[in-house]
Structure 1
């Protein structure tokens, strides 16, 4: 019951924020409508996830990876800007083998959030294919990759 409540509160929060950001100025009536519509959307999203049989897994390492995301974004932006100025001779495609406790869906999303990386495939639940403008791994990749880096 606690997990269901947390899931609905998170969905409701995300949907409310997306709605409020989409409106230029927010009046109390618009905020109320956004909150009620988001609550209905949160219940619908949970029911759809349950009907599809999807389970959230591998979130043990998500917090560490998410905390390294701001540094990864800044570093990736610097690499992207320098690559625009000079052709990236070091660009590479590599397989990132994920640590136990890291799910390919959220790990791939966090890795792809960096401006200098692009997830081009998820061949298995524990492997993500990444195209990167730099030869070394970034902070998010280091947080979710198996010891010894990515291969």
Structure 2
């Protein structure tokens, strides 16, 4: 019951966020319609997931990675601006072995959210290939990696 409620709330938040970002100016009526449509969409998404038999897994490290994300974005912007404005850095490609409880789908999405990193491949469920503008692992990589980043 609790997991289902959390899933519906998350779906609602995502769907309302997409709607609000897509609308240029948001009136109370538009926000109400977006909320009701998102609630219907959230219930439909949950029912579809249950009907397909898909289980949500690998979210144990997600909170730690999400907390590190704002710092990773600011740091990534600084690295990107420095690389473009001052001196180009040598990019690197590395394998990041994910820690137990981290799924490649959401971990790769969070790693890619930083402007100086990009996931270019997922060869296995517990490994992502990362193209980065810095040699050391960023905060999100450290949060989801098995030993702090490189491998």
TM-score (norm 2): 0.91
Q: Distance in 2 between matches of 1:18 and 1:58?
A: 24
Whether 1:79 aligns to 2:79 is: yes
Aligned to 2:89: 88
1:1-151 superposed matches below 5 A: 1-85=1-85, 86-89=87-90, 91-147=91-147, 149-151=149-151
Unaligned runs of 5+ in 2: none
Q: Return the offset for 1:44.
A: 1.5
Q: Return the offset for 1:51.
A: 2.9
Q: Distance in 2 between matches of 1:132 and 1:27?
A: 41
Instruction: State the Cα RMSD in Å.
Output: 1.5
Deviations 1:16-71 (A, max 9, x none): 22212322333332222111111111111112222333221111111111111111
TM-score (norm 1): 0.91
